[in-house]
Amino acid sequence: MTTTGARRDAPSSQLGWDAAQMTEHPSWQIEIPGSIESDLDQLEAWAGSVDDPIQAFERRLLELPGVRALARQVAAQVDAGTGVAWLRGLPPTTPSDQVSLLYLAIGLELGDPEVTYGRLYDVVDHGDSYRDKPIPVSQTRESTGMHTDSSNKAVWPRVVGLACLQPSAEGGGSRLTSSVRAHAVLGERAPEHLETLYGDFIRDVVTPGSPRDPAAVRRNAFPVFQRALNPAGIALRFMRYWIEKGHERAEQPLTAQQHAALGALEDTLEDPAHTLRFRMEAGDLLFLDNTTVAHDRDAYSEDPSAPRHLQRLWIERPQPV
């Protein structure tokens, strides 16, 4: 999908968005039409005939014209638009199992699921902190800073999906930023930092069952920015904490230059003018290009009787050519 090497070309105008542009031009917000109910009815009837619908469902198993139409709209945003598609409009009373199947059906139209954590991965708080043990941040209530998904060199989903089954009582809002804009800003203001970010950085290994000895962690090294076959020509892979922990575990301290480059990138990604903020409600679906959009969520608290519950889907989808 990518090749390494610095690139400072001007970004695609749509992919290099800021918060104001996304607010003024909400083409990335997709209304789920009421006609989707016929597809939901089909999915519900089929699900009642199998033991494990999430594992059994396959692309084009059923004739679902509404799903295919929504998937085309999502693909247009992911491949040639802003890299963001937020689907809204399902009635809040839609059963969670129907939301999950609709979400999976749209996702499968986009590509093949990456199943390291299962087809649909439950994003729920387990009561721990990723700073105390090597667990995915998705298993906590914490905010981590802008990042892309997967710190594993061998696992790089092009598209990340999220389905909201139950929002949090407080907090938990979504934050997105264009890594393409961040690349352009660094190219103008700090090209020396951008050059550093095209070099390899070690990441800690948090994938369940993977070896975590220093030698294994040292092998988990790859650039923060890479060249890519997408309209912007670049791709981001970044989560500062796992980089810092990776270098620590590998016994290869970050250089002062690397520290400065990571800080400059994080400051640029976190610029409030570049940060799009919104809150997903029950039934909302979100699909992101994991190479051109960085994301985070606000820390949250929840009602124990209705804990926050999202589902994540990683999708392998070719870059547009």
pLDDT in tens, 68-78: 999 999 999 99
Backbone φ and ψ for 16, nearest 5 degrees, come out as: -90, 50
Number of Cβ atoms within 10 Å of the Cβ of 222: 18
Q: What is the pTM assigned to this prediction?
A: 0.91
pLDDT value, residue 210: 79
pLDDT in tens, 157-167: 999 999 999 99
Please give the torsion angle defined by the CA atoms of residues 91, 96, 101 and 106, in that order, rounded to the nearest 10 degrees. Answer: 50
Closest CA to 85 of 62, 110, 61: 110
DSSP type of residue 28: G
pLDDT value, residue 308: 86
Spell out the domains of the chain, with CATH numbers in brackets.
2-316 (3.60.130.10)
Q: Alpha helices of the chain — where are they, by DSSP H?
A: 19-24, 36-47, 53-56, 65-80, 96-110, 179-189, 191-197, 214-219, 240-249, 256-269
Q: Are 246 and 220 in contact (CB under 8 A)?
A: yes
Closest CA to 242 of 289, 268, 210: 210
Closest CA to 274 of 302, 295, 297: 295
pLDDT value, residue 197: 98
Q: Is 245 helix (H, G, I), strand (E, B) or coil?
A: helix
pLDDT value, residue 232: 87
Rounded Cα distance between 224 and 198, Å, is 6
Regions of the chain where pLDDT drops below 70 = 1-13, 125-143, 321
Rounded Cα distance between 310 and 297, Å, is 12
The amino acid sitting at 218 is R
